Amino acid sequence: MVSYFQQFVNEPSPQPSPRGRGGLRVWLISVNVFLVFFLILLFNLGVLPVKNVGDFVFFAVIILLFSLYRPGWAFLFFVGTIALENVNLAPKELGLAVRPYQLLGAASLLAVSVRYLTKRLSFTLPKWNWIDALVLVFVAGGFFSALASSISKGIAFKQSIVIVSFAALYFLTRIFIQDMKDVRKIIPYFLSSSVVVIIFGIWQNWRFVRGLSNFEVMPGRPNATFSEADWLGIFLVLLISFVYSILYYFQNKAGDDEEKISNFQFLISKQFPILKLNNLKFQIQNFFLYLILTLLFLILILTVARSAWLGAGVVSVLFFVFCVWYYFKNKNSKILRIPAYAGMTFVVAVLAIQIFGLTNFELGNRIQSTGSGLQEITISCLPKSELKSDLVISDVGELEQYGCRHINLEEIESEKAKGNSIARIKRDDPNVSIRSEIYQKSWQQIKEHPILGIGWGNISQILGTDERGAGLNASNIFLEIWLGSGLLGIVSFIVILGLILMQGIRLLHEGIKNQESRIMIFGFFIILSLCAIIVPNLFNSGIMLGFLWIYLAIAQIK
């Protein structure tokens, strides 16, 4: 065993991400897709997590040996599994959850460390920067808060260690993704596995509306591979900003290639075949990207996550404004096709939901309740009930005095068969009052502990649990961080976001000034995706999502 271990360590290290031949690349992407598919399947069938510690250790050692042999490949699969948030590999005896990307990430980081110490690492490590230091300050803030916590030091320390694991994944990404070429290499793995997750989420709701087993946490709201629909929504908004950026890149690249060919950089006899081939390639790429965008809009609507809807709206408006600006600056009307086609994909997604009956939610009512604070519900009343149709109630408990009760849409026919009358009335949206109470209690804790906070996870001890028994969080990423890691954590996090925003603006300006489309588009992607993460998290606390930490690392590329 030791000799095999030494052989893996002494094997010359490949580049962080294999460029390789086309065949190898296709093989790796295929393995990535099947890996994600089978992990989802095995988890939902109850095969995962593994049943005993011995089996888990065995698989962990296999993954470590694989990472030592090909750390770059292990990192690619780490990126590919980043969306598998609710898939747990660890047995109950360990007392913690280990996601596939965490195991692959830990193995990759250990493999890089071993190769570095044995001087077998074939690429240089990135230079230290301010954001790296701020990430460490952010982590330290959690431990200081845990030490000072008067609620539960045990929970706070345990959650602080979890934050350390995410910070380690941040540094792992910094090691492997050091320039834009590295970013381009991981895109197929991230995108292909994301498609699997999207299809699984749509399948969940398709099964739900037909009364079949669907693995949804909240009935009628797909969560795919996330613990709840709102987390999936944040991921989808980030994906939408990602697809927008790629569409823009391909449109710009197609224009540049056409200009080069037309400027007689090729023989006239060869110009038309090359143009035709390039145009075909461009159309195929666009077809798949718009198909993915359609699926993204479709599942985003199905999540009924209003915070994610708002995030997608902000991202889409920013993208539209940017395309209009580019049109007036360069007089390139083709660029306006992107938001136009994106709008069409949204319409197709809405029509598909209606035609195939993919949700029981009344989406219009969901949107309307966001502005009015009133939610329309369906009720069943006894035949002699005297209920006014314009009645507005605060809580469904008030219905008892009228001989009525709140029912789901699928119960309508059975209630009619009993001779009961069906009506629709309005009630105060419970989400508004719940969030208001959460914000008040969270802010009260911040006022009482403004410097050190109360430690990660402890706010749930104060807020209580939801209907599923899961602990409530602060429902705002900034409040959650302030509570979890005190002033050190919130200040360092805000500065990190500010530095990333400045980096995006700098790259955007540099790309425009030097007419470097790749730099310009990457800068715009940083800004767009930053909005995609921040806006939904104004109503959620997604600090412990793996893709957030990968984004923080990638956004620093210069």
pLDDT digits 0-9 by tens, 414-456: 888 888 888 888 888 777 778 888 999 999 999 999 999 999 9
pLDDT at 281: 76
- Percent helix, percent strand, percent coil in the chain, to nearest 5: 70, 5, 25
Q: How far apart are CA 86 and CA 544, in angstroms?
A: 12
Other CB atoms within 10 A of residue 195 CB: 17
Alpha helices (H) in 449-516, listed in sequence order: 459-463, 477-513
Return the structure tokens found at 104: 């692959």
Alpha-carbon 225 to chain mean position: 10
406: β partners: 379
Alpha-carbon 376 to chain mean position: 30
Scanning the structure block, which residue is given the tokens 């966001």?
A: 370
pLDDT at 113: 93
DSSP character for 451?
T
pLDDT at 19: 46
Return the structure tokens found at 526: 């940083």
pLDDT at 513: 87
Return the structure tokens found at 388: 């006014």
Q: How far apart are CA 31 and CA 76, in angstroms?
A: 11
Return the structure tokens found at 435: 């969030």
Q: How far apart are CA 367 and CA 166, in angstroms?
A: 34
- The pLDDT tens digits along the chain (558 residues) read 444 444 444 444 444 444 445 688 899 999 999 999 999 999 999 999 999 999 999 999 999 999 999 999 999 999 999 999 999 999 988 888 999 999 999 999 999 999 989 888 888 889 999 999 999 999 999 999 999 887 888 899 999 999 999 999 999 999 999 998 999 999 999 999 999 999 999 999 999 998 888 898 888 899 999 999 999 999 999 999 999 999 998 888 765 555 554 555 544 445 455 555 567 777 888 899 999 999 999 999 999 999 999 999 999 999 999 999 988 887 776 889 999 999 999 999 999 999 998 988 777 777 766 666 778 888 888 887 777 767 788 888 888 888 888 888 778 888 888 888 888 888 887 777 788 889 999 999 999 999 999 999 898 888 887 767 778 889 999 999 999 999 999 999 999 999 999 999 999 999 988 888 889 999 999 999 999 999 999 999 899 999 999 999 999 887
Q: How far apart are CA 48 and CA 359, in angstroms?
A: 29
Q: How far apart are CA 509 and CA 501, in angstroms?
A: 12
pLDDT digits (tens, 9 = 90+) for 280-292: 777 888 899 999 9
Return the structure tokens found at 372: 């009015």
Helix, strand or coil for residue 233? helix
Q: Where are the domains of the chain?
A: 1-125, 127-176+435-558, 229-364, 374-428
Q: How far apart are CA 444 and CA 452, in angstroms?
A: 14
Helix, strand or coil for residue 380? strand
Answer left, alpha or beta for residue 373, where phi above 0 means left and psi between -120 and 50 means alpha: left
Phi first, then psi, for residue 258 (nearest 5°) are -65, -40
Q: How far apart are CA 204 and CA 542, in angstroms?
A: 23
DSSP 165-196: HHHHHHHHHHHH--SHHHHHHHHHHHHHHHHH
pLDDT at 298: 97
421: β partners: 381
CA angle 527, 235, 146 (to 5 degrees): 90
Global confidence as pTM? 0.89
Return the structure tokens found at 232: 């999936």
Q: Are 310 and 219 in contact (CB under 8 A)?
A: no
pLDDT at 276: 56
Other CB atoms within 10 A of residue 393 CB: 17
DSSP character for 470?
P
Helix, strand or coil for residue 275? helix
Q: How far apart are CA 76 and CA 133, in angstroms?
A: 26
